[in-house]
Amino acid sequence: MNDCIFCKIIQGEIPSVKVYENDRVFAFEDINPIAPGHTLIIPKVHAENIWEIPEEDLAAIHVASKKVARAIREALDPIGVAALQLNGRGVNQMVMHYHLHLVPRMAGSPELSITKWDLVPGDMALIQQTGEKIAGAIR
């Protein structure tokens, strides 16, 4: 895509701190890191979100995430690594080229807000109804 920042990063038209690439994926450091080592993994072929990305690229990203997460653990020794992936402007996807965030947390560093939410018990009837609706749409 001509005007896509991440496509430009893959082409080398915008500089990036690359940590890994293979024939399908490219991984690089986020320039607004939530924490040191915040890494993005993207498909080389432009796809906007989870609905558009081909299964082969999706699988390649998740296989690469294991390789990169292992490297993050060896290089930085974090107490955990969060994986986050946003789809759609309604959930604050800002770059419309599929990307998986890997965000490490170091011992003694603040809690990552993306990993913490209040556990409030839901309405079981509604949970059942919604689950059935989704299950009925699976194909």
Contacts with ligand 5GP by CB under 6 A lie at 5, 14, 16, 28-32, 86, 92-95
32 binds, among Zn ion, ligand 5GP, none (CB under 5 to 8 A by kind): ligand 5GP
- Residue 7 sits in the site that holds Zn ion (CB under 5 A): yes
Task: Let me know if 99 is a catalytic residue.
Answer: yes
Q: Which of 38, 97, 99, 101 is catalytic?
A: 99
Stretch of residues binding Zn ion (CB under 5 A), selected from 7-15, 56-64, 85-93, 131-139? 7-15
For residue 28 the two structure tokens come to 């690089």
Which of 2, 27, 4, 3 is closest to 16 using CA atoms?
Answer: 27
The Cα 131–Cα 99 span in angstroms is 27
Q: What is the smallest separation between the CB atom of 137 and ligand 5GP, expressed in angstroms?
A: 25
The Cα 88–Cα 76 span in angstroms is 31
Residue appearing with tokens 């796809």:
47
Pairing of strands 100-105, 39-43: antiparallel
48 binds, among ligand 5GP, Zn ion, none (CB under 5 to 8 A by kind): none
The Cα 57–Cα 53 span in angstroms is 7
Give catalytic residues, as residue numbers: 99
Interface with Zn ion (CB under 5 A) = 1, 4, 6-7, 46, 97
